[in-house]
Structure 1
Amino acid sequence: MFAELFVYCWFADDLISESEKVAQAAYDAVPSLLECPASVKRSLLILMQRAQRPLSITAAGLFPLSRESFVSIVNVSYSFFAILRNFRED
């Protein structure tokens, strides 16, 4: 179960990282904005505005999947397991 969750979190974190680079890549793709038609400038502006918020995959809309969220899930799971194990031993 943890391996499957890890795969989702790993690739979701890669998606976040790559989507943060989209605005800069779009800006670097156009060597001179002065020579571009207005429609291209408008499309580029819309793309760069949208790229300000990185894409993310969320778990049931509660929190974004990332490597950090995987680590926190594992920590919380282990804590619950340790508590339950303590109750069982008593």
Structure 2
Amino acid sequence: MGGCAIGSLAAQLSGQDDPTRQVFVDAFERWEAPLIACLRPDVDVTELAHLTMAAIQGGLLLAQIRRTPDQLRLALRGARAALEDALTSLP
């Protein structure tokens, strides 16, 4: 219900200066790396990792604002569907 502390901090501080923004870029890339590593190379793994991270962060923010975990569940369901689709549509 409290949202993502790192996401909130990133939103507040990333506009301060470029070195600070880059710290958050690097942090999110480290979180995305396991997603990229587990997908096959014939899938746009970077796009799927970004989509998943956006769903998590957006879902957390909406859950915090609306005070309901349903928002996060919905966002994660969408990200999971995209990941499953990418995995099942492989040749």
Larger radius of gyration: 1
TM-score (norm 2): 0.33
Would you tell me which structure has more strand in proportion to its own residues? 1
TM-score (norm 1): 0.33
Would you tell me which structure has more helix in proportion to its own residues? 2
